[in-house]
Structure 1
Amino acid sequence: MTSPSVAPGASPERPPGWEPSSLERERTAYRQRRARRSSLVALLSTLVLGAVLVLGITATPGWPRVQETFFSPGRAWQALPAVATGLWLNVRVMLVCGVLIAVLGLTVAVLRTLRGPVFFPVRLVATAYTDLFRGLPLLLVIFLLGFGVPALRLQGVPKDAVVWGGAALVLTYTAYVAEVFRAGIESIHPSQWGAARSLGLSYAQTLRFVVVPQAVRRVVPALLNDLVSLQKDSGLIAVLGVIDAIRAAQIETATDFNFTPYVVAGLLFVVLTVPLARLTDWVARRQGWAGATGAVR
């Protein structure tokens, strides 16, 4: 039985010459009115709440002193170049560490999913690694590597605090990202493995061409969340004396004990984080619409 032909450019659900009925037009207009009214109510309620918060805070007795100490426009403009220069270091650390974390995290996840008794030592080491670095606080790892390794005075080992701060970020975040990848790999239905092996693909080829692409697609929103967290935690390397955005703000604050540079650093971090967060939301919505396997609904 052949399906009826459809004219080029016409939708299969709507034949050529189709027009909505009067009832459908009324429903569409009603939905549009409800959407506009909801948007207007949301805008007004947000403005009212914001006005109440602003008036409530500015009416407090200590607000003039707080404004001078934390929200001085002139001091913010003066500290902006130094803090922005330090932020560029945070961005570079995030980008380099992000690539290393993705590669190492996927490697550890694959090692944890290897089957067979011969791979038990490999799985044991990978499991011990993830358990150890998910249990250690990131700040403690930064202290141990940033101060401990250079103190050994090993020949050929770099002593740059940025290197060891980045290494601490990579070691810690790789443990978390590995678990995200492993969850994605184990979410693939066994029929996918069986179908790939029945076609003659080896175990490594099945992972590379069938399982891993689907697994990565499923966990992209979670990985982007980890990237947002990494972008913020890159500021922790300041405890090693690295002049990043936070350290630059601390230096600026030490000159006159005005804390506005810290607010400037926080705002710059937010400016970087918010686009990443919105990208994560967009990808999550796209995944929810297209489905985990990319099938169009």
Structure 2
Amino acid sequence: MGPLARIGGFLETLRTLTDRRDADMDATESTFSRDRARSWHAMHRLRVYRGRGWLAFAVAVLVFVLVALTAHHVTLVAVAAGWKPLAVIAGAALACGVAFAFGCKAIQGVLLSIRAGRSSDIYAARTCGAEASDASWQSFAYSAALAGACAFAWLLVANDAAVSRTFFDVSLIVRSSKAILLAFVTNLEIFAVSAVCILVWALAIAIARTLPGRAGRPIRALAIAYCDLFRGLPVIINIYLIGFGLPLTDLPVLRDLSSNTYAILALTLTYGAYTAEIYRAGIESVHPSQISAARSLGLSYLKTLRFVTVPLAVRGIVPPLLNNMISLQKDTALVAIIGTIDAFNQSKIIASNYFNLSAVTTVAIIFVLATIPQARFVDRLIERDRRRMRAGR
């Protein structure tokens, strides 16, 4: 055998011994990792949230029993009131199915906590423990929501369904919806005209409040007095004073206005004060360097307001302005105090004829349905502004 062959054999033997040593080290390290995981569980008591999981499961079982009892009682009351038995039973079965589906979150939390306790891998145990905790908290949240729904259902059927018959008479709601919707057009007209008047009037007041120098001091004082007065005056009192007071003055123009016009005037004066403060906050948020740059280019104070200050201010106050408009829409129901036949007044007439308040519930539903899309639109604008700020634009 030559020298090269002997060197090759030696290298092959060395490689075999090295591979065997690495395999032994890996096996030893694996055994040590398992032992370390067990000692970690024993010494440091890794949180697997098993108690929280079992508690969530117990609460879910109790809530499921509560939902089943509530569904049974509501079914008996609804069938006795003349509802179709098939529809009522289907609704009860759906409620029980939802309660069971939410209870599965608690079962998931228990199983994950058991898996975390038996795992020999520290990191896998921690992951399962965190998932078990999250599933348990979700189960608690769903159980609380179902318990609240059951409490509301018991309120509706208490005292021989007195609450349901007084506020939620479906047949009366259906019969009165057409007349109330036609009257709701008056609310929409008052809201639309008032919104335009408020935006223009409030901008004028905000500009008056921000006039600079000594020359603007008297105008600023008048604007401050107006805002303080009408922000402190309740809307219903303002509507009452204008709606019944101006006709009594016998002034040539003001005495002949319609009740809708009085309502628009009162809402404009009241909400103009609030909206003016929103405008003023937006104007004062514009950085002084922007105004200085515009003035250095030769723009006058009014042109600076028109082309620089107001556009920049309005961009940042659109969400609070829309929130103010949502409040304005709801407060159009207050015009009923001066005799305007709006949705609320129409519902009161129907309620007095039937000795039932379900027609007023119809008005509430209409206002809620009209307000929710606006509120979601405002949330969308706010989220867009947040994304824009995070992006550094």
TM-score range, shorter chain: 0.7 to 0.9
| Aligned counterpart for 1:176 among listed residues 274, 279, 288 | 274
Q: In structure 1, the residue corresponding to 2:364 is in which secondary structure?
A: helix
1:217 is displaced (CA, Å) by: 0.9
Q: In structure 1, the residue corresponding to 2:317 is in which secondary structure?
A: helix
AA at the equivalent of 1:144: L
Give the Cα separation in 2 of the matches to 1:252 and 1:111. Answer: 46
**Structure 1 equivalent of residue 298 of structure 2:** 200
AA at the equivalent of 1:286: R
Give the Cα separation in 1 of the matches to 2:234 and 2:192. Answer: 22
Distance 1:55 1:67, change over 3 A: closer
**Structure 2 equivalent of residue 119 of structure 1:** 216
**Structure 2 equivalent of residue 93 of structure 1:** 190
**Structure 1 equivalent of residue 283 of structure 2:** 185
Q: What TM-score does the superposition give when structure 2 sets the normalisation length?
A: 0.62
Listed as ranges, the gaps of 5+ residues in structure 1 are 1-32
1:122 is displaced (CA, Å) by: 1.2
Q: If you compute each CA radius of gyration, which structure gives the higher value, 1 or 2?
A: 2
Give the Cα separation in 2 of the matches to 1:263 and 1:214. Answer: 42
Give the Cα separation in 2 of the matches to 1:289 and 1:45. Answer: 34
**Bigger Cα displacement from structure 2, 214-223 vs 151-160:** 151-160
1:51 is displaced (CA, Å) by: 3.7
Q: Deviations over 1:251-294 (max 9, x none)?
A: 00110211100000000000111111111111111112213xx9
Distance 1:197 1:295, change over 3 A: farther
RMSD over aligned Cα, in angstroms? Answer: 2.5
Give the Cα separation in 2 of the matches to 1:147 and 1:231. Answer: 22
Give the Cα separation in 2 of the matches to 1:95 and 1:198. Answer: 40
Distance 1:222 1:170, change over 3 A: same
Distance 1:63 1:120, change over 3 A: farther
AA at the equivalent of 1:249: S
1:41 is displaced (CA, Å) by: 6.4
Q: Is the 8 A contact 1:71 1:263 kept in 2?
A: yes
Q: Is the 8 A contact 2:285 2:313 kept in 1?
A: yes
Q: Would you tell me which structure has more helix in proportion to its own residues? A: 2
Give the Cα separation in 1 of the matches to 2:177 and 2:157. Answer: 28
AA at the equivalent of 1:137: P
Listed as ranges, the gaps of 5+ residues in structure 2 are 1-130
Give the Cα separation in 2 of the matches to 1:295 and 1:51. Answer: 41
**Structure 1 equivalent of residue 363 of structure 2:** 265
Distance 1:42 1:125, change over 3 A: farther
| Aligned counterpart for 1:79 among listed residues 176, 187, 190 | 176
Distance 1:80 1:48, change over 3 A: same
Give the Cα separation in 1 of the matches to 2:269 and 2:140. Answer: 43
1:63 is displaced (CA, Å) by: 5.3
Q: Deviations over 1:163-220 (max 9, x none)?
A: 1111100000000000000011011111111111122221111111111111111111
Distance 1:222 1:264, change over 3 A: same
Distance 1:48 1:197, change over 3 A: same
Q: Is the 8 A contact 1:57 1:63 kept in 2?
A: no
- State percent identity of aligned pairs: 41
**Bigger Cα displacement from structure 2, 197-206 vs 239-248:** 197-206
Task: Report whether the alignment pairs 1:253 with 2:351.
Answer: yes
1:155 is displaced (CA, Å) by: 1.9
Task: Report whether the alignment pairs 1:217 with 2:333.
Answer: no
Distance 1:255 1:106, change over 3 A: same
**Structure 2 equivalent of residue 11 of structure 1:** none
Task: Show structure 1 runs of 4+ deviating over 6 A.
Answer: 40-43
